[in-house]
């Protein structure tokens, strides 16, 4: 038996999980706890408190998924004054092997710890066991990554594909592009500016300012409160969530149109990723948004825009597409990555 420590570290919340690994593929969870990241000056005292509460001996291996880039085994967290270095962490915690990985790379590893109940299939396709796999996920940003079979197991590779250019495909999307260029006084618009939680708000503002329909007082108040809090670290309003809920309830016309445009753009970007990788091993949709708007993801609009690629349509119709509904996939992936060390 090998004792492993997995962590999903964010600027606001950190989840730690102690697991036990044996010869079987399954990992046995021994203890788990969630912490407010800002309550600790560094990861080390948090882990020490966690292990003391778990009444555990020192794990042999650890993997921490970081909400941000990992460069040469170091990471500086966004919105948190932590600088993590694997060599320092190993020395201060007494753990023999430690690795830091991008939180979206952890999602890639986590795929192999999911069950059928953790997935909702949008398109069965024709699965090819040796083919590449792809992961895309809209949340705070737009994560993208891919997996390649090497020997007996897949290697996970994160990417910055969410920062590639947003590609409008019709008159409304061209107007959205021009709106964002002018509003932010920028030279280009990334896919992430449209396909993300912030993107939902941006689309709403665009439709509102173009007077596409009349705002409901409830959503208007949430969006304006958020606009007034611009630049503040702590925000009391979450317009993306409010807009998504209003669209599902069909209680606000602009919110409905916002989410329609969002889902179409999301499907198109997922299709772009699929064209570049041909992930016949499966394309997995992660992130916090998709599970919250499941009826909108299932109404056919996402897959229509995913496959609407001209002559390539027949190829994309053969790619399996799944939504990950287990929001702990990153923590599962961190534990599986630790087991490989």
Q: Is 115 marked as a binding-site residue?
A: no
Q: Is 12 marked as a binding-site residue?
A: yes
Of 99, 152, 108, whose CA–CA distance to 332 is shortest? 108
* H-assigned helices in the chain: 43-54, 86-93, 103-110, 171-184, 197-209, 217-228, 239-249, 253-277, 294-298, 301-307, 313-316, 329-340
Give Cα separations from 258 to 168, 208, 209 (angstroms): 15, 10, 12
DSSP string, 54-88: HT-PPPSEEEEEESS-EETTEEE-TTS--EEEHHH
Q: Is 78 marked as a binding-site residue?
A: no
Angle CA(268)–CA(154)–CA(2) in degrees, nearest 5?
130
Residue 97's H or E segment, with its range, is: strand 97-102
Of 147, 126, 125, whose CA–CA distance to 135 is shortest? 147
Q: Is 8 marked as a binding-site residue?
A: yes
Q: Is 10 marked as a binding-site residue?
A: yes
Q: Which residue has the tokens 């007082």?
A: 217
Cα separation, 70 vs 77, in Å, equals 9
Q: Which residue has the tokens 């897949």?
A: 154
The binding site comprises: 7-12
List binding-site positions for ATP: 7-12
């Amino acid at each position: 038996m090998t004792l492993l420590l997995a962590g999903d570290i964010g600027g606001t919340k950190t989840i730690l999980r102690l697991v036990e690994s044996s010869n079987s593929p399954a990992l046995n969870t021994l203890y788990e706890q969630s912490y407010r990241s800002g309550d600790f000056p560094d990861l080390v005292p948090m882990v020490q408190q966690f292990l003391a509460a778990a009444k555990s001996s020192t794990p042999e291996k650890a993997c921490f998924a970081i909400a941000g880039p990992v460069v040469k085994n170091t990471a500086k967290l966004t919105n948190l004054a932590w600088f993590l270095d694997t060599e320092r962490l190993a020395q201060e915690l007494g753990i023999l092997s430690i690795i830091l990985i991008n939180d979206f790379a952890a999602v890639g590893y986590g795929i192999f710890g999911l069950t059928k109940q953790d997935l909702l299939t949008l398109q069965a396709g024709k699965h090819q066991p040796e083919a590449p796999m792809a992961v895309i996920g809209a949340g705070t940003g737009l994560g993208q990554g891919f997996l390649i079979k090497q020997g007996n197991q897949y290697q996970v590779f994160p990417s910055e594909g969410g920062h590639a250019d947003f590609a409008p495909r019709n008159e409304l999307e061209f107007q959205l592009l021009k709106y964002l260029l002018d509003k932010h006084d920028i030279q280009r618009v990334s896919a992430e500016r449209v396909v993300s939680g912030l993107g939902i708000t941006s689309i709403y503002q665009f439709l509102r300012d173009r007077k596409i329909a009349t705002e409901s007082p409830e959503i208007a108040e949430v969006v304006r409160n958020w606009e007034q809090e611009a630049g503040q670290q702590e925000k009391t309003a979450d317009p993306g969530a409010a807009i998504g809920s209003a669209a599902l309830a069909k209680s606000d016309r602009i919110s409905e149109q916002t989410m329609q445009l969002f889902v179409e753009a999301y499907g198109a970007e997922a299709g772009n990723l699929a064209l570049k990788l041909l992930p016949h091993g499966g394309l997995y949709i992660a992130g916090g948004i998709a599970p919250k708007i499941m009826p909108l993801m299932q109404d056919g609009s996402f897959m229509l825009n995913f496959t609407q690629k001209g002559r390539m349509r027949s190829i994309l119709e053969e790619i399996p597409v799944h939504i990950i509904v287990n929001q702990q996939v990153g923590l599962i992936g961190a534990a599986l990555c630790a087991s490989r060390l």
